[in-house]
């Protein structure tokens, strides 16, 4: 059974159809790419899936349950986590504290839980500290655990974002342009990390990306959006040879003019 299924997803902002009747499925343990030119509706699709926006029409089904319009913080417990296009971090926190707080959903604390520095809370914190350290080692940030997140170089900030997204132990991780603004070396490292998310942690990944090389190297399946519509889907190979996709990216030479 597919892990994520979106059917007829539509989002209208006034006169603009940002996402127009998009239907796609993501299989478990896949790395699924979502590509398209600027303004194609990729991030909006993410926002619709993750409950930041409510769709005008259509359904989002995650692991057999309808999650259309369920707010983001509730999806985390079900195992769906997303990251953001622009580095969203707790900038004044250390790298370690960023990941520690991201483990919030494992505390089991209700809103009032962990209120008063009780013994139970301190024990929990020690447990989580161990876990945070493990995650930092996994993404390769362990030696920078004490740095302030806001002071990190951009490449490490993106890695930290993945670490924060990984902390709630998602089954499905939505990565919004994880390699935006990274140089070649960092892109390769990030793609290596994305692959190991799937291979070592069993996380299914959907990623929005502009960097074609990155997408082609890592994605099992790619969906292409243009003007909010799904125009192609298939393996990376198939999609790059699809004439509609080439046209969407490069335009067509118009003989008549």
Partner 1 sequence: MTSNRLALAAFLVALAAVPAFVHSGYLLHVMILIFLNVMLATSMWLLGITQLISFGQAGFVFIGAMTSAMLTKDLGISFWVALPVAGVMSALIAAPVGRLSLRVRGVYFFLVTLAFGEVVRGIFAYFQVPFGGWYGVRDIPPPSPHWLFTPLDKVPFYYLGLVLVVLTCWVIWRISRSWFGEVLWGIRESELLASSVGIDVTGYKLVAFIISAFVAGLAGSFYANYVGYISPLIFDFTYSVNILIFVVVGGFGSLAGPISGAVVLTIIPEVFRATGKYQMLIFGLILVFSMLAMPDGITGALHRFQLRRARRAT
Do residues 23 and 8 touch, judged by C-beta distance below 8 A?
A: yes
Shortest gap between Cβ of 16 and partner 1 (angstroms)?
23
Nearer to partner 1 by Cβ, of 6 and 80: the residue is 80
Nearer to partner 1 by Cβ, of 96 and 233: the residue is 96
Shortest gap between Cβ of 11 and partner 1 (angstroms)?
18
Nearer to partner 1 by Cβ, of 20 and 157: the residue is 157
Shortest gap between Cβ of 42 and partner 1 (angstroms)?
17
Considering only CA atoms, which of 176, 145, 177 is closest in space to residue 160? 145
Q: What is the DSSP string of 12-79?
A: EETTEEEEEEEEEEE-TT-EEEEE-STTSSHHHHHHHHTTSS--SEEEEEETTEE-TT--HHHHHHHT
Q: How far apart are CA 116 and CA 130, in angstroms?
A: 21
Shortest gap between Cβ of 231 and partner 1 (angstroms)?
29
Q: How far apart are CA 16 and CA 122, in angstroms?
A: 50
Bridge pairing between strands 221-226 and 229-234: antiparallel
Q: How far apart are CA 94 and CA 100, in angstroms?
A: 10
Q: How far apart are CA 174 and CA 52, in angstroms?
A: 13
Shortest gap between Cβ of 163 and partner 1 (angstroms)?
11
Task: Identify the helix (H) or strand (E) that includes residue 131.
Answer: helix 119-139
Nearer to partner 1 by Cβ, of 167 and 197: the residue is 167
Here the tokens at position 168 are: 């709630």
Positions that interact with partner 1 (CB under 8 A): 50, 71-74, 76-77, 81-84, 88-93, 97, 100-105, 107, 109, 111-117, 121, 124-125, 164-165, 167-168
Shortest gap between Cβ of 112 and partner 1 (angstroms)?
6
Nearer to partner 1 by Cβ, of 98 and 223: the residue is 98
Nearer to partner 1 by Cβ, of 125 and 189: the residue is 125
């Amino acid at each position: 059974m597919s892990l994520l299924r979106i059917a007829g997803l539509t989002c209208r902002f006034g006169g603009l159809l940002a996402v127009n009747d998009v239907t796609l499925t993501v299989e478990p343990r896949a790395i699924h790419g979502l590509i398209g030119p600027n303004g194609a509706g990729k991030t909006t699709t993410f926002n619709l899936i993750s409950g930041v926006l409510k769709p005008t029409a259509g359904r989002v089904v995650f692991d057999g349950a309808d999650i259309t319009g369920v707010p983001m913080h509730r999806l985390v417990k079900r195992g769906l986590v997303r990251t953001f296009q622009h580095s969203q971090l707790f900038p004044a926190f250390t790298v370690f504290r960023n990941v520690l707080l991201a483990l919030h959903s494992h505390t089991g604390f209700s809103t009032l839980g962990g209120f008063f520095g009780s013994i139970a809370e301190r024990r929990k914190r020690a447990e989580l500290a161990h876990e945070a350290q493990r995650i930092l080692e996994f993404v390769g940030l362990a030696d920078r655990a004490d740095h302030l997140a806001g002071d990190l170089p951009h490449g490490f900030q993106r890695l930290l974002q993945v670490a924060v997204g990984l902390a709630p132990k998602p089954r499905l991780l939505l990565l919004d342009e994880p390699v935006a603004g990274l140089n070649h070396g960092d892109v390769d490292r990030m793609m290596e990390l994305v692959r190991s998310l799937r291979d070592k942690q069993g996380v299914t990944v959907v990623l929005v990306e502009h960097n074609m090389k990155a997408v082609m190297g890592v994605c099992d399946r790619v969906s292409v959006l243009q003007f909010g519509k799904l125009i192609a889907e298939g393996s990376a190979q198939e999609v790059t040879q699809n004439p509609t996709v080439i046209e969407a990216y490069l335009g067509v030479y118009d003989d008549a003019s």
